[in-house]
Structure 1
Amino acid sequence: MVIKVLGSGCLKCNKLEEAVKKAVQELGIEAKVEKVQDFKDIMAYGVMQTPALVINERVKSMGKVPTVEEIKELLK
């Protein structure tokens, strides 16, 4: 599983990355967590608001920081 956190590196983007890593750890799944900061790459996903969460190349959340529990549901 490949999980991407799209964002400029702002506070919310960093919080989302931390929450994703915690959710992955709590679920005990194997996943590669990547941070995408290049706006050209972010726009390629059609994302207009960051932070955004992409799981296996599908945008699952944008413009907010989901809770760890919400992220776990998205990962299942």
Structure 2
Amino acid sequence: MDIKVLGTGCKKCNMLANVTREAVRQSGIDATVTKVEDIVEIMQYGVMTTPVLVVNGEVVTKGNVPSVNEIIQILQSKHRN
């Protein structure tokens, strides 16, 4: 599973990266988490608000920091697809 956290390095963006890594660890799902801070790459996803969570190329959250459990639920639903 390919997971990207899009954000320019703000506090919320860093929090989302940390929470996402913890969710991956707790869920046991085989995933790579990458933090993307390049504004040009972020703009390619068509989002205007960060932080953004992208799973396998699909934007799944934007503008907020879900809890570890919420991210685990998202990852599990995407893992089944």
TM-score, normalised via structure 1 length: 0.97
Give the superposed CA RMSD: 0.5
List 4+ stretches of structure 1 deviating above 4 A: none
**Residues 1-76 of structure 1 aligned to structure 2 (within 5 Å):** 1-76=1-76
Q: Give me the identity figure in percent.
A: 53
Amino acid at match of 1:27: S
User: 2-side partners of 1:61 and 1:21: how far apart?
Assistant: 15
Question: Secondary structure of the equivalent of 2:16?
Answer: helix
Please, which runs of 5 or more residues in structure 2 have no aligned partner? 77-81
- Count of paired positions: 76
Alpha-carbon offset, residue 38 of structure 1: 0.8
User: 1-side partners of 2:53 and 2:47: how far apart?
Assistant: 10
